[in-house]
Structure 1
Amino acid sequence: MNPSSRRSAARALACAAIALVPLTALATPASAEAFDITFDCQADAPIVGPQQTTLTQGTDITAPATVAPGGAFDVVIDPTATTVPANVNGFTVKQIKDVALQIPIPANSTFVSADLTGGSGLGSEPSIDVEGSVATLSFAGPVAGGAEFELPTVTAHLTAGESGTIETKLGGTSYEDPGLTLTTVVNQLVDIEAPTACFPDPSPVFTTTTIG
């Protein structure tokens, strides 16, 4: 190779290396976090009045540490298997049904689409719907008291805003502003349907993605 050709090849390699630097900087590995989420729940049972209980749901959540302004990224919410209580406050739980879990679209991001994979023991096909800034994962059930079930893995495809941070959380702050709703059917001589409202307490920030 003559000197001129060597210089041209060197310049080409240098340009290629420079071009790859931004791509490498943007390819920040996603980080996975495991949480045991405690829901404070109140069932509005006819005749006997409100009944309070707690539910615990394990969840693994994955999101990138950084994303470019306007860049596409995914948040993966992977719930672990859980069991419906067989008894609550002395009442036999026959089943739960009409379950809906709210997943807010994080600030500084825009929702594109979502995929559901897996899930078992739900009694019906799960779905996810978005209205405004909240995605709702729901299934009709029923799931029998004492039975194990697993919610599907949710992969949310999002677009980052121009600056700031993107934090993932679950919805709900109180019984009046629940992030999880369901109908609990208990049996005490007859079946009693109790609308149940739950919220995560505490409500942690699961992941934080920095834009930039």
Structure 2
Amino acid sequence: MIKTSSRLLAGAALAIVPLLGLAGVASADTQSVNYSCQGKAAGQTTNTSLSQNVDSTAPATVAPGGALTITLAPEVNTVPTQAGSFSVKSVKNLTLAVPIPANATLVSFSLSGGSGIGSASVAQVGNNIVTSVTGPINGGAQFQLPALTLNLTAGDSGTITTTLAGTSFTDAGLKFTTTVSVFGFPIDAPTSCFPSPAPTLTSTTIGS
């Protein structure tokens, strides 16, 4: 039987982290968001970064008390098949959090589209709207995360801005688990990420 050290297994799992950037649909406004990430497996911790393009649509202005809709939509992406010399088995249990904007009241939220991701759900968790994807999404497979739509009522004044949640590894806005195969041994690397810096995805001015 081949013996593989826990450090080798952990290193293989953590090597996948920087390969998981999500691309955005070309539309009204597409931004590249940088995430700082930390993965942990078999007692080893690795820090890295990834980039994620986010396509955002929102009105430039809205009347006080008026209704507005904001949509954030990723595009088709592909899970890599390799992490260095190791095979990627799958990605699973991905969550992405979006804060409820200030100067507005949340009316409703929903997901639309998405493919190759297993089941998807969305829920309000505190002051965040969290999209959850179960997977698993196999290495080499294409997938598309669902678009998130927020329906809001504007406040009396100010600016309504959207961003992505997360301020630290312990207050992560993006989480996922990658499973890699090392000499036939599967190992999971739970990973926590936060945007650095936090982006302004949309900005809507409240005015008459």
TM-score bracket, normalised by the shorter chain, equals: 0.7 to 0.9
Q: TM-score, normalised by structure 1?
A: 0.78
Cα distance in 2, alignment partners of residues 76 and 130 from structure 1: 16
Contact 1:51–1:89 (Cα < 8 Å) also in 2: no
1:201 matched to 2:192? The reply is: no
Which residue in 2 is equivalent to 1:128?
122
Contiguous gaps of at least 5 residues in structure 2: 1-26
Secondary structure at 1:64 match in 2: coil
Distance in 2 (CA, whole Å) between partners of 1:121 and 1:143 is 7
Distance 1:89 1:42, change over 3 A: farther
Deviation for aligned residue 1:117: 1.3
Within the candidate set 163, 167, 188, 2:161 is matched to 167
User: Comparing both structures, which one devotes a greater share of its residues to helix?
Assistant: 1
- Count of matched residue positions in the alignment of Structure 1 and Structure 2: 180
Structure 1: where are the runs of 5+ without partners? 1-30
Q: In structure 2, what is the equivalent of residue 64 of structure 1?
A: 59
SS at match of 2:28: strand
- Percent of counterpart pairs with the same letter? 48
**1:137 counterpart = 2:150:** no
Q: Which runs of 4+ in 1 moved over 4 A?
A: none
For the residues of structure 2 that align with 1:90 and 1:171, how far apart are their CA atoms? Answer: 33
Q: Distance between the aligned counterparts of 1:39 and 1:85, measured in 2?
A: 18
1:87 maps to 2:89: no
- Which residue, 30, 33, 36 being the options, matches 1:37? 33
Change (3 A) 1:155 1:97: same
Q: Does 1:150 align with 2:122?
A: no
Larger radius of gyration, structure 1 or 2?
1
Give, in angstroms, the shift of residue 90 of structure 1. 5.0
| TM-score for both structures, normalised by structure 2 | 0.79
What do you get for the CA RMSD once the two structures are aligned? 1.8
